[in-house]
Amino acid sequence: MDVKTDQNIHTSVLLKELVGAISLKKDEKNIVVDATLGLAGHAGEILKEMNPGDILVGFDADERNLKLAKNRLEKIQTQYAPEVQIILIHSNFVDLRERLQDNGITYVRAIYYDLWVSSLHFDEADRGFSLRLNGPLDMRFDTRSWKTAAELINYSEEKDLFQIFKEYGEEPYARKIAAKIIESRKEQKFQTTGDLTNFLDEKINTHIKTKMRVFQALRIAVNSELYNLEKSLWDAIELLEQDWIIFAISFHSLEDRIVKQTLKRESRDCLCSDIICSCKHTKTVKILTKKPILPDEWEQKNNPRSRSAKARAAVKI
Ligand SMILES: C[S@@+](CC[C@H](N)C(=O)[O-])C[C@H]1O[C@@H](n2cnc3c(N)ncnc32)[C@H](O)[C@@H]1O
């Protein structure tokens, strides 16, 4: 599914796999939550399958994407699903449970995540996600939050920068990069993505992979992506009704590890390794994907962005 805006296109990843996994029931009220609405490529296809009285909830931390999704969903709603209620929420999915409760929703029938950024984020210089385009060093999904990539780079301590590049970028030059940033920012603060890429070229190396890892690490830190994902997954599993599905598409190993480990932990009876265990945890999900779902050859060829995608799913028991 290609979703076109005035200048850009976002192609949804693993579309048929995700839509196929969410089988809605007729004559029952289905509440489906898209935790990362983006341009509503997945949500639009699911909306077409929904029945009168069902509810589709879409979250996005990015207000611009939420507005584009709203236009798209309204068109689909008019044509295919006039009696489905659509609730769009400008919020980080870390607050999923609270925002759903604000809307009177205390259980959900299916919930899915399509992580990472939309193609639009990379195509718009002013958001600061792009290596190719010069723009402010921002990288926030939600422009209401206070922490930009420039603030992190210009004011964090060396040990914290090192930790960010090492943990979130798995960057071999993490120590050197952190040390050189401290040196460089004494002369001049980092303001733009161009300042950062030039710095990396001049002071570290010209390898594109180093730049990609540094950008990824900063984006994860700016948006607290890993903490937010883990908390949101716990809440989502708790909100799910029995026999219903949670589905998550991730694009890098750090995210995938969180999805995999959270589902694994929730699929076991006991979390403790102690001999005498008092946690009394009982399993809450059954994993549906022993191995992750990957895009087929056709999709990988036609949408290079899909090549790193991995999806995992589980059903509430
Ligand atoms: C890959 S895109 C989703 C694309 C969508 N599935 C489609 O097919 O059009 C991911 C979206 O999730 C949003 N996002 C990322 N992290 C988020 C978070 N923690 N909370 C809410 N939205 C988030 C981004 O702003 C982006 O719009």
CATH number of 146-222: 1.10.150.170
Query: pLDDT by residue (tens digit) across 268-282?
Result: 887 666 666 666 678
Could you give phi then psi for residue 82, rounded to 5 degrees? -65, -25
- Say yes or no to pLDDT of 7 above 60: no
Answer CATH for 2-120+225-316 from 3.40.50.1950, 3.40.50.150, 2.60.40.10, 2.160.10.10: 3.40.50.150
Q: What is the pLDDT of residue 10?
A: 80
Task: Give CA separation, 49 vs 56, 78, 82, 193, 313, in Å.
Answer: 11, 13, 12, 42, 20
Q: How does pLDDT run across 86-103, given as a tens digit for each residue?
A: 999 999 999 999 999 999
Atom of ligand 1 nearest to the CA of 228: 19
The response to whether residue 222 sits with its C-beta less than 6 Å from ligand 1 reads no
156 lines ligand 1 (CB under 6 A): no
Give pLDDT tens digits for 27-49. 889 999 999 999 999 999 999 99
Query: If you average pLDDT over residues 176-199, what whole number do you get?
Result: 97
Mean pLDDT over 208-233 rounds to 96
Residues 53, 30: Cα–Cα separation, whole Å? 8
**Which token pair is 255?**
């995210």
Give the whole-angstrom CA distance, residue 17 versus residue 134: 36
Domains 2-120+225-316 and 146-222 share a fold: no
pLDDT at 9: 72
Q: Which atom of ligand 1 approaches the CA of 62 most closely? A: 25
In the predicted structure, residue 305 carries a pLDDT above the cut 70 = yes
Cβ of 59 closer than 6 Å to ligand 1, yes or no, is yes
* Consecutive H or E run containing 89: strand 85-90
Which residue from 4, 62, 100 has its CB within 8 A of the most atoms of ligand 1, so it is best to mutate? 62
As a whole number, the mean pLDDT across the chain is 93
Band of residue 6 on the pLDDT scale cut at 50, 70, 90: very low
Answer with the residue of higher pLDDT: 221 or 120: 221
Q: Closest ligand 1 atom to the C-alpha of 66?
A: 27
* Closest-CA residue to 166 (of 202, 214, 231, 237): 214
Three-class SS of residue 247?
Answer: strand
Q: What's the 177 CA to ligand 1 centre distance in angstroms? A: 29
Element (H, E) at 168: helix 158-169
Instruction: Verify whether ligand 1 is closer than 6 Å to residue 116 (CB atom).
Output: yes
Is 210 a pocket residue for ligand 1 (Cβ < 6 Å)?
no
Write down the pTM of the prediction: 0.93
Q: Where are the domains of the chain?
A: 2-120+225-316, 146-222
DSSP result, 92-143: -GGGHHHHHHHTT---EEEEEEE-S--HHHHH-GGGS--SSS--BS---SST
Contact (Cβ atoms closer than 8 angstroms) between residue 77 and residue 84: yes
* Residue 58, ligand 1, Cβ within 6 A: no
Residue 61 CB–ligand 1 contact under 6 Å: yes
pLDDT band with cut points at 50, 70 and 90 for residue 182 = very high
Q: Is the predicted pLDDT of residue 2 greater than 70, yes or no?
A: no
Are 49 and 25 within 8 A, CB to CB?
A: no
**pLDDT at residue 3, rounded to an integer:** 55
| Mean predicted confidence (pLDDT) in 273-302 | 86
Percentage above 70 pLDDT, the chain: 94
- Given this model, what pLDDT does residue 117 score? 82
Q: Quick check: 36 and 60 in contact, CB under 8 A?
A: yes
Q: Is 92 touching ligand 1 by the criterion CB < 6 Å?
A: yes
Q: Which atom of ligand 1 is nearest to the CA of 12?
A: 8
Query: What is the C-alpha to C-alpha distance for residues 138 and 314, in angstroms, rounded to an integer?
Result: 35
Is residue 10 lining ligand 1, measured as CB closer than 6 Å? yes
Under 8 Å CB-to-CB from 144, ≥6 apart: which residues?
A: none
> What DSSP string describes 170-186?
--TTHHHHHHHHHHHHH
For residues 311 and 247, give the distance between their C-alpha atoms in angstroms, rounded to a whole number: 7
